Amino acid sequence: MKLFIFLSCIIFCSFSTVAAPQYAGTVKGFYINNGKTVLVKLDTPTPACGDQTWPFQFSLSGEVAKGWMSMLLMARASEAQIGVGYAPNENGRCNVEYFYFYN
């Protein structure tokens, strides 16, 4: 019985994932530079990101990034809240890991 509980705990723990920090707000602006880096700013400061001018960034290469751009455009046009999962960086911009619609 103890072995069963122990193995169940190990299996359960192996399914858990470490989630990225999350933040939500309305899109205040986004900027695409000539290096195909997209910079994003939401309506309130993000303390885990050192650069408050453009706190979030991601590369525009790949299909996922194109989907993210569509989400940002829709959120900006409708003023809907959007959530972002990111890797904290107190010394610069935070790298985006995912976007999701908040409401």
Residues 16-30 have pLDDT tens digits of 345 677 889 999 999
Which of 70, 40, 14, 88 lies closest to 6, judged by CA? 14
pLDDT the model gives residue 66: 92
pLDDT the model gives residue 72: 94
Q: Are strands 56-59 and 81-87 parallel, antiparallel or unpaired?
A: unpaired
Which of 90, 91, 73, 94 lies closest to 82, judged by CA? 73
Range with lowest mean pLDDT among 10-14, 22-26, 97-101 = 10-14
Domains of the chain: 20-101 (2.40.50.340)
Q: What percent of the chain has pLDDT over 70?
A: 82
With beta carbons less than 8 A apart as the criterion, state whether 27 and 42 touch: yes
Q: What percent of the chain has pLDDT over 90?
A: 67
pLDDT the model gives residue 10: 43
Q: What is the mean pLDDT of residues 76-94?
A: 94
With beta carbons less than 8 A apart as the criterion, state whether 21 and 84 touch: no
| DSSP assignment string, 60-82 | --SHHHHHHHHHHHHHHHHT-EE
Q: Which amino acid is at 91?
A: N
Furthest-apart CA atoms within the chain: distance in Å: 61
Q: Would the pLDDT of 50 be above 70?
A: yes
